[in-house]
Amino acid sequence: MSSKTPRLSLAMIEKAAARIRPHILRTPSIPAEHVRDRPVGNPIHLKLESLQVTGSFKTRGVMNRLMTTPREALDKGIVTASGGNHGMAVARAGLVAGVGAKVFLPPQASVAKLRGLKEWGADVEVVGERWDDADQRARAYADETGAVYFHPFKDIEVIAGQGTVALEMLEAVPDADVYLVAIGGGGLIAGLSTVIKARKPRARVIGVEPVGSPTLHASLAAGKVVTLDSTTTRVATMSCGRTDEAVYDVIAQNIDQVVLVQDDDLVDAARWILSEFAIRADLSAAAGIAALRKGRVDLAPHETIHTLICGADDAALG
């Protein structure tokens, strides 16, 4: 986002919701009540974006970006860098628009995501060592070919589309006090927190990152955007060495805390979701549950939790 880009706002996200409504599913929020092994004693609600078209919330942002892009600009196709979920959404957008979709992935991307991208018709290339390398290659490809780059978290139209999930969460569970959100590059939590803090300013928005990619945690501690020397998480959808300054500004203003979990905590949480609900969440989708199970979030007895099961992956537990 540049200085000429409109500032992210609730009104922008509400317009995005109206724009993309015919192209997405309204996914349910379910109470985590009848479970054998409660993560905490507080009420928990799960927003099942794992049931969304392409398996994650990413299609919200991508469809908004597609629908705000002039048709003639799409003639050379779409390109992106992704850990998997955003790429799936871009591949679907290519089919919707009738243009080619090129997706660059880091090597940590799961076999299931690679298979899914090819099934959606994307041209897929695995490059580099982490997502940031895929991002550089995607940018170069856009410059070389004229394809439009759909960035997963720097693009304000993508962020606005992703933020629409919070509008549904508020309608489904209006009394929620705490929102737990996985962080990769920060686009989802930037959009979601913009809605929550505008509608429920006293609610808490808490981000969850892996110990091996503490991008926002480190930046907030430093009071500015920092570039990580390395990322060691094996969760490709949560691996990002640097966020965007404009995204950081939104997050720094809106979110209350970022907590860290180990990759193994994410695996255990995904297994819990599968065991309790027969839902195959990907590891990033299990971030909120992981934070609760490991006691990373301080909760008052009265607080109600709403967390996002933000992606699906049939190989997440392999």
Q: What is the CATH number of the domain that holds 39?
A: 3.40.50.1100
Give the pairing type, strands 148-149 and 29-31: unpaired
Please state whether 84 falls in left (phi above 0), alpha (psi between -120 and 50) or beta: left
Between helices 58-67 and 156-172, what is the axis angle to 10°?
130
Q: Is residue 5 part of a domain?
A: no
Chain mean pLDDT for the chain: 93
Among 84-88, 104-108, 161-165, 311-315, top mean pLDDT goes to 161-165
Nearest to 184 by CA among 257, 84, 284: 284
pLDDT, one tens digit per residue, over 13-45 is: 999 999 999 999 999 999 999 999 999 999 999
**Residue 147 DSSP class:** P
Q: Which residues contact 2 (CB under 8 A, 6 or more apart)?
A: none
Tokens linked to 34 = 């009848």
Same domain, 206 and 254: yes
Residue 316, pLDDT > 70, answer no
pLDDT band at 314 (very low <50, low <70, confident <90, very high): low
Do 69 and 48 reside in the same domain of the chain? no
Whether residues 139 and 263 fall in one domain: no
Q: How many domains does the chain have?
A: 2
The whole-number pLDDT of residue 25 equals 97
Look at residue 305 and tell me if it is in a domain.
yes
pLDDT at site 2: 45
Same domain, 82 and 172: no
In a domain, 167, yes or no: yes
In this predicted model, what pLDDT tens digit does every residue of 151-198 receive, in sequence order? 998 999 999 999 999 999 999 999 999 999 999 999 999 999 999 999
Q: Which of 100, 115, 149 is the last residue of a domain?
A: 149
DSSP state of 56: B
Residue 264 and residue 295 in one domain: yes
**Same domain membership, residue 64 and residue 53:** no
In a domain, 90, yes or no: yes
Q: H or E element: which one contains 103?
A: strand 101-105
Q: Which domain holds residue 122?
A: 59-149
Question: Which strand (E) or helix (H) includes residue 101?
Answer: strand 101-105
Query: Based on the domain organization, do 202 and 258 belong to the same domain?
Result: yes
**Domain identity same for 181 and 145:** no
Cα–Cα distance for residue pair 61/66, rounded to 1 Å: 9
Nearest to 240 by CA among 140, 154, 130: 130
Query: In terms of domains, do 81 and 28 share one?
Result: no
Give tens-digit pLDDT for 247-298.
999 999 999 999 999 999 999 999 999 999 999 999 999 999 999 999 999 9
Cα 263 to Cα 234: distance, rounded to the nearest angstrom:
7
240 and 113 in one domain?
Answer: no
Domain match, 212 and 284 both: yes
Tell which of 118, 149, 180 closes a domain. Answer: 149
Last residue in a domain, options 105, 124, 149: 149
In the predicted structure, residue 82 carries a pLDDT above the cut 50: yes
Residue 5 binned pLDDT confidence (cut-offs 50, 70, 90): low
pLDDT for 109 equals 82
- Rounded Cα distance between 6 and 301, Å, is 40
pTM of this prediction exceeds 0.85: yes
